[in-house]
A and B are shown apart, each in its own frame.
Chain A
Amino acid sequence: MEATASMLQARDWSSLPTDVLVLILERMRWSTHPSVVLVCQQWRSAVSLSPFYPAWITPLLLNTADIGTANIRYYSPYYDKNFEVDDTLKRLFGIELTFTIEIASSIRNNSGEWEDWKLAENHLDWSKWEVIAVYDPCRHDEGFKILDKLNSFGFKGEDSYLLESNQGELMVVLIERYGKMVHVVKLNEQRMEWEKPAAKACADGQSFGQGMASRPQLTRAATHGFGELVTYKQFMGLRSVGESRAQPGCAIDSNAIWCRSPPWRRRCSLPYLNCRHVPPRARCPVL
């Protein structure tokens, strides 16, 4: 270091001003925050100033546990990932869609510990928002199939969730900015068009206050014959529209869409749906 003493002082990264650190944190996903907290005092204090949604109030679950499948899935805004727990197979899936679809899995060993994450093989460029990917576990080797004509919803969603109904229909739940409106559409694969599904599955036109629920027909997908692979067919995608910083404001379980407004910092009034199934302190895959 050729610099003077004062310059050395100035260049100490542990004294980077917190306002600058907060702006750097904004450029990263929440999943990075736990590591940043442990760097040093200054960086830790910056994380506490950054918009933050503590892990322990996070699990917004995507849950089908009460309809007869052993699989439990949820989305964690804290880790910005979907997790899927299969109690029978002792396997957990993490699905990450910020830039590409990446799927990692972890296996719980006999002593109940979760082993390190392993990346699954499927990769898809998710940089174009106007595509929708279909994963068919029967044709696992082919990976994701990309359908076109997605940009014809007729309304704009801040966040969107891709689901598959029990009839094998692809459905998208779109949430407008601040959770103002929730739209549900399904894909007519013959015509490659989005349609409003019948009756109760459609929640649009309603204003969503706190904990307002509707009932999409999100029920059990066929689980027979596919083994463990079927688990991420049922809930495949998340947040296909928006920036990496977008904050999904909804959780979806078998009975309801739960919707909240940002900021996440506000304590949520959501029920902790089946939190007990979530493996404690499962390490998040670094994708």
Chain B
Amino acid sequence: MQSPTRKTAVLGLLIALSLMFSYIESVIPVPLVVPGAKLGLPNTLILLVLYTYGVKEAVLVNAARIMLSGFLFGNMFGILYSLAGAAVSFAVMLLAKKSTLFPMKAVSILGGVFHNIGQILVAAFLVSGISVMAYLPVLLAAGVVTGLCNGILAEMIYKRGIV
């Protein structure tokens, strides 16, 4: 469908773009600050790559983004933390897409919600004493809102076939 060269170039651009989104996210303090809550902007691109290209490419862009942003703006601890969230989120989105039960927007919501669940679980595991119950309602609601927004965005871009 697309030439390999074009694909390589587009994926490179998307990695760069998702890296930028990661950076923007790291400098915007989310008003409802809870560990694990993020806007999830890069997920818009991950979703787009998953639908346009496939699993392999989406994993590649996701992993590259996390490693790059982790080493540039964070540390080893941060990398492991976001890898956990991203892995749970991606696995759920993949299953949801494969099941063909859900449209893109719904897949995005599931991704957002499970990203937050994954991160809070890792946080609870790493730092004993965190009350997960206190955060879960906020994280679930935040995941729905950010997931829906990102999903709408990703669907618009996907349908226009820009990528």
A-B complex is real: no
